[in-house]
Amino acid sequence: MNKTTTPPLGTCTLVGAGPGDPELLTLKAVKAIQVATVLLVDDLVNDEVLAWARPDARIVHVGKRGGCKSTPQAFIEKLMVTAVREGEHVVRLKGGDPFIFGRGGEEVEHLRAEGIACQVINGITAGLAAVTSLGVPLTHRDHAHGVVFMTGHAKPGHAAMDWRQVGASAHGLGLTLVVYMGVGAAEQIADGLLQAMPADTLVAIIENASRPGQRHATTRLDQFVRTLVDGELGSPAVIVVGDVLRAMASANFSAQTAALADSHEERRLG
């Protein structure tokens, strides 16, 4: 009598690959990547991170970037479940941290609904790496009592963000505002924040945080959109708003603006 056997259930781990610099990976993330038999990799993950993967690992790129053709979320979740049920050790490799605008919560919920346990390994989120690269903290006893992480766009079908209210809360409570995926909504963000925050509130725009091609500019809130356009700063970028930027700006504002202008001129002439 032949007996049918069910393949052993595999494992699934959501791993934060950090903001881009491969040296910012945690040891725990490296260990998970090394044992994975299947890696489902987001667009913003640095290819150098995949050097830790075993030679026979199956690497599947499942890109998700604003303004670009993206792999449907439902398809990614189906891939995860199927691979685990086939006995694979799956690593869902995400830029930054899985639980900060990485849809990690949605994926964990889906896996649990399918009866699959999932481990999560945190990564350094881009908002922290971006501001740290400028020598600025997110919180400071004299300048910021907390920090708010925001997404620059709402989920399709949901109401748009009320940036006036966000600005009023951040300004009133002394909070640093960090906006992810905000380049496409820059005008709406600036218009809303200016209704509740002073025009001379400082803003930093950091493109490709922690990567070799990082560029950034510091400006006033009322000049934010113009700086973004004139400097040709684009996604992926993090926008930081608040008084924590004042200590850095007093020493480096002119140098940074000049460096950005030089970069723009070199690309124009090249």
Query: What distance in Å separates the CA atoms of residue 166 and residue 164, rounded to the nearest whole number?
Result: 5
* Active site (annotated) includes residue 94: no
Question: By three-state DSSP, how is residue 29 classified?
Answer: helix
Query: What distance in Å separates the CA atoms of residue 126 and residue 265, rounded to the nearest whole number?
Result: 27
The active-site residue out of 64, 94, 197, 248 is: 64
The active-site residue out of 42, 80, 197, 248 is: 42
* Active site (annotated) includes residue 3: no
**Residue 77 CB partners (closer than 8 Å, separation 6+):** 106, 107, 110, 111
What token pair was written down for 253?
A: 């504002």
CA-closest candidate to residue 76, choices 107, 105, 54: 107
**Residue 111 CB partners (closer than 8 Å, separation 6+):** 12, 77, 80, 81, 84, 117, 118
The active-site residue out of 80, 150, 161, 181 is: 181
* Active site (annotated) includes residue 155: no
CA-closest candidate to residue 238, choices 144, 142, 140, 138: 138
Catalytic residues, by residue number, are: 42, 64, 181
